[in-house]
Amino acid sequence: MNRKRALISDAFKVKRFRNETQKFGAVSKGDGPTDIRSTLETLMTLFPRKLFNDSLPQIVMKHQLYSIHNDKTLVDKELNKLREQGELLMFQLGFDADAFGLVFASDYKAKVLAGEDGRATRATVEKFLEKLPSLCTELSFSKDKMLKEFRFTDSEITQLVKSGVLTVRDAGSWWLSIPNSGKFTKYFIQGRKAVLNMVKKSKYSEVLKTELEERRTTSHVKFQMKYHIHDIVGAELVESIPTTSGTLLRFVDS
């Protein structure tokens, strides 16, 4: 029996109960606040700073944490605590309604200010960043809130949009955003598609996680393979199945 046939045989040794499909590295016990923050910090290290000339803060997608922690409710609860404490920012990245990026507030502030060096918008951006503790719990802002609560003028709001810390959501409201993150979104999406295609084109549309991590990638995959695997598992675009040969990733037909 060749290796791939043995792999499939191993897969069928797994009981086919839906609740037994697990995420690789999934944590079921001791899933406390420290673990969530620690996981977030570990995932941040997979972010390719050099690819963006160190101009972007480290970005982790919220669902990537679900690839490690089974309890989504707990993950969301602990992330909200970090946001309420002014330590973490969350962004709606636009390419999917459920695509939320996470960035540490201190990293965001440092990168935004570095990008504002010598720009006419810097003073307004600094004023905006002084309100970071209040910003951490928000995804978007209404014109009423910007004018009355944060006391920005129409002209200053225009400057914030120009600088990239705000993007237009609709008439009279704006998303909190990461300046110059368009390239990140582009690379993220094309990398996801390429890695999913690798799984889909494997025999029986499944592959061992360790095997996928070692695969040679095309020019479409700019990030570390582990970053993309945490994405496709957390977003439930593949099933993660424990076998005697290791974790098996199976393409999910949507």
Predicted confidence pLDDT, tens digits, the chain (254 residues): 444 444 444 444 443 333 444 555 444 444 455 689 999 999 999 999 999 999 999 999 999 999 999 999 999 999 999 999 999 999 998 778 889 999 999 999 999 999 999 999 999 999 999 998 888 899 999 999 999 999 999 999 999 999 999 999 999 999 999 999 999 999 999 999 999 999 999 999 999 999 999 998 888 999 999 999 999 999 999 999 999 999 999 999 87
Rounded to 5 degrees, what are φ and ψ at 136?
-60, -30
Q: Which residue has the tokens 């955003």?
A: 177
Distance, in Å, from the CA atom of 127 to the CA atom of 122, rounded to the nearest integer, reads 9
Domain end, chosen from 145, 179, 213, is at 179
Burial label, 118 (beta-carbon count in 10 A; 0-12, 13-18, 19+): exposed
Let me know if residue 26 belongs to a domain. Answer: no
Could you give the number of structural domains in the chain?
A: 2
Rounded to 5 degrees, what are φ and ψ at 43?
-65, -35
Max Cα separation, the chain?
A: 72
Q: What is the predicted pLDDT for the residue at 133? A: 84
Q: What is the predicted pLDDT for the residue at 21? A: 47
Tell me the CATH number at 221. 1.10.10
Token readout for 154 is: 């129409």
Question: For residue 126, what are the domain limits?
Answer: 36-179
Amino acid present at 218: T
Degrees (nearest 5) of the Cα angle 7, 9, 13?
115
Other beta carbons within 10 Å of 123? 12
Let me know if residue 19 belongs to a domain. Answer: no
Q: 175 with 187, same domain?
A: no
Other beta carbons within 10 Å of 204? 13
Distance, in Å, from the CA atom of 23 to the CA atom of 15, rounded to the nearest integer, reads 15
- CA dihedral defined by 239, 242, 243, 246, rounded to 10 degrees? 100
Q: 169 with 227, same domain?
A: no
Contact at 8 Å (CB) between 136 and 102?
no
Q: 132 with 75, same domain?
A: yes
Q: What is the predicted pLDDT for the residue at 129? A: 96
Q: 157 with 50, same domain?
A: yes
231: Cβ contacts below 8 Å, ≥ 6 apart: 61, 63, 64, 67, 188, 192, 237
Q: 188 with 80, same domain?
A: no
Q: 114 with 200, same domain?
A: no
Whole-model pTM? 0.86
Q: Which residue has the tokens 């004018």?
A: 147
Q: 167 with 209, same domain?
A: no
Q: 197 with 237, same domain?
A: yes
